[in-house]
Amino acid sequence: MKLYLVRHGEAQSAEIDPSRGLTTKGIQDIMKVAEFLANAHLTVNNIFHSGKTRAQQTASILADHITVRHGVFDSEGLSPNDDPSIWAVRLSGLTEDTMLVGHLPHLAKLAARLLCDDFKSPLVTFSSAGVICIARSQEGWAIDWMIIPDIIK
């Protein structure tokens, strides 16, 4: 199983947009990443995102570019301060490639929880609109690759 952890694109400040939708740069960055993933023929079974506007917009842009077999779903447990154990437990029962679109610090804690069973040790730095792919084998989870908008031409 492959798990794609995606941090939402750059968001508006709460003063400008109380719902904190994506900025123009945030949209451009996630479009660049989505096009890169489409060219790599990325396929996932599901995309789950937090209920926050910036995560929903990011998930929607990704779903418009990559192959998503089942759908895009708003899901609990992906908000910035949610317990990473919620999704660690859910993932233990999944076998299909899955994408989670969320926020910091939650994504960093979830990655650390999966990779070394310690959500307090930051292992991965998530850029806005960045994607990290981690793969699960019989030995456990391991980083497969990571992409950020700044390295895509």
DSSP the chain: -EEEEEEPPPB--TTT-TT-PBPHHHHHHHHHHHHHHHHTT-EEEEEEE-SSHHHHHHHHHHHHHSEEEEEEEE-TT-STTS-HHHHHHHHHT--S-EEEEE-TTHHHHHHHHHHHS-TTS---PPPTT-EEEEEEETTEEEEEEEE-GGG--
β-strand partners of 147: 131
pTM score, whole prediction:
0.96
The tens digit of pLDDT for each residue in 77-95 reads: 999 999 999 999 999 999 9
Query: What residue type is 8 in one-letter code?
Result: H
pLDDT at residue 46 greater than cutoff 80: yes
Sequence-ordered list of residues with C-beta below 8 angstroms from that of 63, at least 6 positions apart, any chain: 47, 72
Which residue in 31, 48, 147, 51 sits closest to 97, CA to CA? 48
- Whether the pLDDT of residue 32 is over 90: the answer is yes
pLDDT over 90 percentage in the chain: 92
Q: Residues near 31 by Cβ (< 8 Å), separated by ≥ 6? A: 61, 65
pLDDT band at 145 (very low <50, low <70, confident <90, very high): very high
